[in-house]
Chain A
């Protein structure tokens, strides 16, 4: 194990011990060719370190939603007390979209929040705007839930007989496609890449 790797690990561990939330991915990038060695150290450390004194409010909100069989992002937004309109407005502003697109942005954000869009295809600037609207770091935006919307978590967390499926989620009706909305659709990963 090289001194450089140990130095990075010590910095990561000491920051975490102080209650900070250093991102392991940033440290692996700094480790360059030695990233695998550092990953092994951090992986072990994360398994063996004590949990924090108290949970972060955003983590409580996310877990609360999951335990209720709801999408994590919905729980986070509710926990932060932010309305959907505010998130949509932030996206419109951050991406320099015409204000007339706000309704479509809102509709697509709701689909994203419900787990009905593939987050891999969503433009990174949208995710940054969502993070800013919710007042969290971009990496704390919980978008990686099981695909196929909520079936997996819901099935585990609730009585399957009463669990709603993705098909039951009430969403605004799809408007007919318009040329002017194509850009918005692409930002949310819809249509041709």
Chain B
């Protein structure tokens, strides 16, 4: 099974409300990752807190645009970071944990993933232009210089790219 097929199955399980199967499928990877970073039994606690949070969100009819796998691991990362900071303030954080969660972090994550996925589906040159604009924040003139094209070509690529992004990001 490819990761795309796995994510598609997750989406189907979510739509059917089969949280038991969905969580059980992801429990081993979440647990292995948490134990590797947090040790036992703190790692198990981080996983249980993660699942509890996801259950609570889904019970409130929260729907994710990003794959469940990505959201679950992101929430686990935030949970591990928070637990580590609270319980082991003197010790350096394990590498690979995400930045601290803030209000709207999941929304920001989903938006970033959606934008990245949409950009990846553009024609290569349009994708490059959108990536430089959206991800690196370059001005249009700077993009034209970087790619050695005219400003008009950048404008056209951005026009096409924005149309795709608008379609993807609409609720």
Contact = CB atoms under 8 A, between A and B. Distances in A.
Interface of A: 21, 23-25, 28, 36, 39-40, 42-44, 46-56, 59-60, 62-64, 66-67, 72, 119-120, 139, 142-147, 152-153, 155-157
Majority DSSP secondary structure for residues of B touching A: helix
Interface stretch (B24-32, B99-107, B121-129, B146-154): B24-32
Interface stretch (B45-53, B133-141, B159-167): B45-53
A38 to B, nearest CB: 10
B32 A156 contact: no
A53 B35 contact: no
Contact of A51 (B43, B55, B69, B70): B69
Contacts, number: 125
Interface of B: 1-3, 5-7, 9-10, 19-21, 23-29, 32-33, 35-37, 40-45, 47-49, 51-53, 55-56, 69-70, 73, 94-96
B24 A49 contact: no
Chain A contact surface mostly: helix
Contact of A156 (B26, B29, B53, B95): B53
Nearest to B25: A51
Given A49-B3, A60-B20, A66-B51, A24 B36 contact: yes
A187 B168 CA distance: 57
Contacts of B6: 50-51
A50 B35 contact: no
Contacts of B10: 51
Given A21-B28, A43-B33, A50-B3, A64 B43 contact: no
